[in-house]
Chain A
């Protein structure tokens, strides 16, 4: 999906964007959060928009819609659950190959606020996820024609079952734009841990993972609501 060079550029951009915001003299006047025991401070409920924006700019049209919930433990640790649906129903114009699937996927993991000492809802985070999906896919391609012996073999697969497990490294930014309303984005590096059973080359697109047989990059762009439990307790 993205090259290693693009990934480095993106990381650089991510850091520069985030640090630019924090260098603003207005914000540096804000007080540091007092040290306290780690406790549940709130919950971020988020929806991802990137899964429908990304296909507008690439030729491989696969979509995902995703919601997530992240607990804020001391504004430092964020145990996260993400649930989504990935789907595609594509026909390759070059090879006239049809590929379709639709299935839910699940991720669980944790983010770490790299700037938790600021005590603010705007922060850079790093984290990890484990993703899982159980899906079926179908392929409808032209028959394979033997160039030497002659004859042809059909290439049509219906509802092939497959499961996939993968790990994700996550880096991102979250910023409050209105009271308790946040926007954020993350870049994700995905590494497959298990995929199977494999038959006829295996799946091309895996819901939640993407279209790649090896590692993959992806992103999220989320709008979230912060439910401030700490304020409610006071």
Chain B
């Protein structure tokens, strides 16, 4: 009886443990690409939504590519970065309902790090922003808030937008 008890209890525990272990899982990001995030602020540091229709294109050797098409009331924008270039160029088109259109060009310099997320979640290209600058038609200043672009989805750049007030 004593022998039975001492063998049976650990075996029951082992079976229970294995049963629970087999239910283990890992949470993976839905996307396997990461994007930076920039948000718009006025000169007082308050978040604003744009009073223009915003489109964003990236400049590529093989031709420009639209990454954001006619977004209204935009408060923030996510943007991709290239896997091999050191600096990417973005053209921001502010369309005021066809009355007039303004353009700004943004230059984002960055490093690229091929990253093993995990064997179960795959790989991704993470980036570190080293510099952000722009022309100043409607954009006053770019402020880097978080250099790292990864799955954390932090706000990376504050865009100080010139408003009428």
Binding site for B on A (CB under 8 A): 1-3, 6, 9-10, 13-14, 17-18, 20-21, 24, 26-27, 50, 53-54, 57-60, 90, 92, 94-95, 97, 99, 122, 139, 141-142, 144, 146-155, 157, 173, 175-178, 183-185, 187, 199-202, 204-205, 211, 213, 219, 221
Pull 29 A–B residue pairs with CB atoms less than 8 Å apart, ordered by A: A1-B21, A6-B23, A17-B10, A21-B9, A53-B18, A97-B123, A141-B123, A144-B114, A146-B83, A146-B84, A149-B60, A149-B88, A151-B83, A153-B112, A153-B114, A153-B125, A155-B114, A155-B116, A155-B123, A175-B6, A177-B6, A178-B3, A183-B10, A185-B17, A200-B113, A201-B115, A204-B118, A211-B118, A219-B21
Taken together as a complex, chains A and B put the C-alpha atoms of A2 and B20 apart, in Å, by 7
Are A148 and B67 in contact, CB atoms less than 8 angstroms apart?
A: yes
Residues of A within 8 A of B121 (CB): 95
Report the separation of the CA atoms of residues A138 and B7 in the bound assembly, to the nearest whole angstrom: 41
Verify B84–A151 contact, CB threshold 8 A: yes
B30 interface hit (Cβ, 8 Å): no
In the complex, what residue of chain A is closest to B14 when comparing beta carbons? A221
- Measured between C-beta atoms, what is the minimum distance from A95 to chain B in Å? 4
Is A122 within 8 A of B65, CB to CB? no
Cβ-defined contact, B123 with A54, below 8 A: no
B104 → A minimal CB distance (Å):
20
Q: Which residues of A contact B125 (CB under 8 A)?
A: 144, 146, 153
Cβ of B14 to closest chain A Cβ, rounded Å: 6
Contacts of A26 in B (CB 8 A): 1-2
Other-chain residue from B10, B22, B119, B124 in contact with A57 (beta carbon distance below 8 A) = B22
How far, in angstroms, from A152 to B83 measured CA to CA in the complex?
Answer: 7
* Interfacial chain A residues near B33, Cβ < 8 Å: 147
Contact: B3 with A177, CB < 8 Å?
yes
Ranked 3 nearest A-B pairs via Cβ: A201-B115, A146-B83, A149-B82
Does B117 lie at the interface of the complex (its beta carbon under 8 Å from any beta carbon of A)? Answer: yes
Q: Is the CB of A177 within 8 A of B7?
A: yes
B96 → chain A closest CB, angstroms:
27
Are A200 and B114 closer than 8 Å at their CB atoms?
Answer: yes
Given A58-B21, A152-B83; A176-B119 close (CB under 8 Å): no
**Which of chain B's residues have a CB closer than 8 A to the CB of A95?**
119, 121-123
Cβ-defined contact, B58 with A148, below 8 A:
yes
Known interface pairs A149-B84, A200-B113. Does A185 touch B13 (Cβ–Cβ under 8 Å)? yes
Contacts of B20 in A (CB 8 A): 2, 6, 9-10
A175 and B114: CB pair below 8 A?
no
Residue among A148, A151, A152, A155 making CB contact with B80, cutoff 8 Å: A148
* A172 nearest in chain B by CB position: B13
Complex Cα spacing A200 to B17, Å: 33
B-chain residues with CB within 8 Å of residue A146 when the two chains form the complex? 82-84, 125
